[in-house]
Chain A
Amino acid sequence: MARKVGICAVAQTTFQRNKWDQRFQNMALEVLESLREQTGVDFSEKKGIGMSISCSDDVFDARTISDNGLTDLLGGHFGCEEKIAQEGIQALYYGLAAIRSGHVDVVLLLGHCKESQGQSRNMVTHLSFDPFYTRPVGLDYCVSAGLQAQAYGERSGITDEHLARIVVRAREKAAENPLLPDTERVTMEEVLASKYLADPIRELHAYPVSDGSVGMILAAEERVHEFTDTPVWITGVGNSMDRFFLGDRNLGANVALKAAAKRAYHRAGITDPKSAFDLVELSDQYAYQLPMWMEGLGLCNEAGGAKWVEEQGWDRDQVNLSGGMLGGNPLLLGGFVRAAEAALQLKGEAGTRQADKAKTALAHGVMGPAGQFHSVVTLKRD
């Protein structure tokens, strides 16, 4: 039986629209120093961090091999250093694998992104398409999401009204989260009147541009207590990659998310996901995704997303108490922050947004156009 892996510490910067006074190294350093202070961990050869995993993106950072900008901070020089260019929650998967394999005991995860740096976030996601076909026609993640929102809306009966309620609630939670100081509360009317980006997606339905950094210390079961009294155990992980060409996909059917969830639940021994989690953190980059991902994860009934919104199921199921991605996290870190928020809740360190008696949680990350790649992580405290 492979050894358990625990999250020992979590640190985040605030996530703000434009951290014009900091380059990404400054943001990441804030996180690194917090992690070291919380755990006392160092980079010493024998007992310290055995592997550093950064999460960054070459195009967002405007440099190839973007982790090179961070190797000072990662203690990566002459050490074991890895980079995630996928969504940051994958760093948990890498770290878990490294520890379970027995290669290392302690892993540093450190992600950063400055979405404000490029002229437009959509210019970056536009580059993820191929230069031969999809790029010239004009796809980016927002336009792709518009297609998916249409496909899902038709299946689930999600209306403009439902989407507005999702945004109002997300902004409400985000406003209570001290890490999202730029948040403005919005009204139903404001959401319903906000301009279209890609029908049915309106401007206020899209996650705001933000800059920030997030990190974690993971450790093997037998060493966890050197660093924390309140470890959060990673009980299951699963991911799944859907096809790249949107035309190949059933956009409204959550195929990849269901596969990712199935893998994670199987590893965690979860048979009834609806009753398995005390709280859930989902990467809702666009408003329609909140009920859609709930369906895909099996946390509400298939095609039951609209009803779940009407019943304000998010309160009962404690979904995105942080404000979610609609509160404002960079694309690259959405799932990573979800895992960080879920871990903070289980550790009892979520402050103003702390849930009652939460013992189990699910964190979800997504990357690629229209939910191409999903990751699911299940967590538990003692």
Chain B
Amino acid sequence: MTEKTTAGLVADIFGTMEARVIPDGVDGITANYGYIITGPNGGKWTVCVADGRVKVMEDLVKPDVTTTCAEDDWIAITLGKLDGMTAFSSGKLKVTGDMGLLVAAAGFFEKYQPQPAEVTVADIFATMESRVNPDGVKGITANCGYRITGEGGGEWTVCVAYGKVKVLEGIANPDVTTTCADDDWIAITLGKLDGITAFSSGKLKVEGNLDILSTAARFFKKYCPPSAGPEEAPEELIALKQVLSIPQTFATGPVMGHFLNALKEKKILANQCPECQRLQIPPREVCAECVVRCKEFVQIGPEGIISTPDVAYYASPDPLTGETRETPYCSCHFLLDGCKGHETMWHELKASDIPRAERGVRVRPVWNDTLTGSVTDIKYFEIIDD
């Protein structure tokens, strides 16, 4: 049944030529163009151009120029998927006789529009093996039976195992069997009818293991009806890839800057609100609650306890390099010595300590060898073993 996609197409291309003549294109041309189209659906035709008219005959009749070409390539050229010149230079298209005549031939006819062929249930099943979605069938072993009723119906079994699919005619040891009318099955396949809706409305009946069917939607790539020539295929739209980046220089200011400088001396600073006495880590210009300037710096820690640990399994990629840090990593709130309540410092816990990451466990910072005045001067906090 796969032949349906091209069967008759070559004959149709030649058969519609007379109706597609462009009068201006053939004006003043007198020549016989012979075509030998090879392949199971090929054949021989002669396109006779004279007096502004075209007559297409089967077989070769006194051709002035003869083009030999495989049927698939001829279809591709006609549908505009393959450039005639490219086909010629790559040897896909061979010409004997007066080659100059062929130059004019490109303007003889209106574009060929393939006739929409009918979608059949048989074709849907026949194309399944070629439409397998490897990710969708991975790890699945099941036989899905299909009983499609109606004139165009039939019975098939889709056997999935070891990442491969085999479609058999008839029902063979099914784990689940779906019964559905031919029209509905076609509508479901073309995405015009939702499978779940069909099931709940009783159009689609299922016996056996329903769970398998829920994975079946991903077994195959989208079914393309045989009629879908390039005109019907959705236009392939362009997605632009751009990296947005503006180099920045961030001033740190006297508050954040002081905090960062202290890290170079392995000191962790908070600043204190003159009104509510709350500590802020990192220090900021004003108290987040009292909106007053916090001038007093207080050294805290460096040891403390885990206040809230969390394990992150996904790290945001660096927008410029696409690289991500190692995961999992432990994002952690620490309550350093000298702090209370919510006066926590956010940083990272050593990855090997993740299994022991619990509230109240004592930790200390591990500093990098080179200190630059960055929050990453603290490599991470680690659990203090007694």
Contacts and interface: CB of A to CB of B under 8 A. Distances in A.
Contact of A118 (B246, B252, B286): B246
Contacts of A22: 251, 253-254
6 contacts: A25-B253, A25-B286, A29-B286, A72-B284, A72-B291, A117-B249
Interface of A: 19-23, 25-26, 29, 32-33, 43, 59, 62, 71-73, 75, 77, 114, 116-120, 123-124, 127, 131-132
B294 to A, nearest CB: 10
A43 B246 contact: no
B248 A62 contact: yes
B254 A119 contact: no
B261 to A, nearest CB: 13
A26 B253 contact: yes
A77 B285 contact: no
A72 B250 CA distance: 19
Contacts of B289: 77
The 6 closest A-B pairs by CB, nearest first: A23-B253, A119-B247, A26-B253, A72-B288, A118-B246, A123-B246
A29 B246 contact: no
Interface string B36-77: 000000000000000000000000000000000000000000
Contacts of B253: 21-23, 25-26
Interface of B: 240, 242, 244, 246-256, 284-289, 291, 293
A43 B244 contact: no
A73 B285 contact: yes
B175 to A, nearest CB: 49
B252 A23 contact: yes
Contact of B240 (A19, A127, A131): A131
Given A23-B253, A26-B255, A117 B285 contact: no
A77 B250 CA distance: 25
A381 B321 CA distance: 57
Contacts of B284: 25, 72
A77 B288 contact: yes
A72 B244 contact: no
B248 A119 contact: yes
Contacts of A23: 250-253, 256
Contact of A119 (B244, B246, B251, B293): B246
Contacts of A73: 285-286, 291
A75 B287 CA distance: 9
B89 to A, nearest CB: 33
B246 A114 contact: no
Contacts of B286: 25, 29, 72-73
Contacts of B291: 32, 43, 72-73, 75
Given A62-B246, A118-B247, A124-B246, 7 more contacts: A23-B253, A25-B253, A26-B285, A33-B293, A62-B248, A72-B285, A118-B248
Nearest to A25: B285
A73 B254 CA distance: 16
Contacts of B256: 23
A305 to B, nearest CB: 35
Contacts of B288: 71-72, 77
A164 B80 CA distance: 60
Contacts of B285: 25-26, 29, 72-73
B270 to A, nearest CB: 15
Given A29-B293, A72-B286, A132-B240, A20 B251 contact: yes
B292 to A, nearest CB: 9
Contacts of A71: 288
Contact of B254 (A26, A33, A72, A114): A26
A205 B286 CA distance: 39
Nearest to A135: B242
Contacts of A120: 246
Contacts of A124: 246
Contacts of A20: 249, 251
A124 B287 CA distance: 32
Contacts of A77: 288-289
Contacts of A21: 251, 253-254
A33 B293 CA distance: 9
A335 B49 CA distance: 74
B236 to A, nearest CB: 16
A321 B277 CA distance: 45
Nearest to B251: A23
A29 B250 CA distance: 17
A43 B251 CA distance: 28
Nearest to A123: B246
A240 B288 CA distance: 37
B240 A117 contact: no
Contacts of B244: 127
A123 B240 CA distance: 19
Contacts of B252: 23
Nearest to A121: B246
Contacts of B249: 20, 116-117
B252 to A, nearest CB: 6
A316 to B, nearest CB: 42
A20 B240 CA distance: 36
Contacts of A132: 240
Interface centre among A19, A21, A72, A114 (most CB of B within 10 A): A72
A380 B256 CA distance: 42
Nearest to B245: A123
A223 B249 CA distance: 43
Interface centre among B242, B247, B251, B253 (most CB of A within 10 A): B251
Nearest to A49: B291
A73 B290 CA distance: 9
A59 B286 CA distance: 24
A131 B242 contact: yes
Contacts of A117: 248-251
Nearest to A59: B246
Nearest to B249: A117
A26 B345 CA distance: 22
Contacts of A127: 244, 246
A328 B244 CA distance: 27
A23 B248 CA distance: 13
A212 to B, nearest CB: 13
Given A72-B286, A72-B288, A119-B246, A19 B251 contact: yes
A153 to B, nearest CB: 31
Nearest to A69: B284
B171 to A, nearest CB: 53
Contacts of A131: 240, 242
A124 B250 CA distance: 15
A276 to B, nearest CB: 39
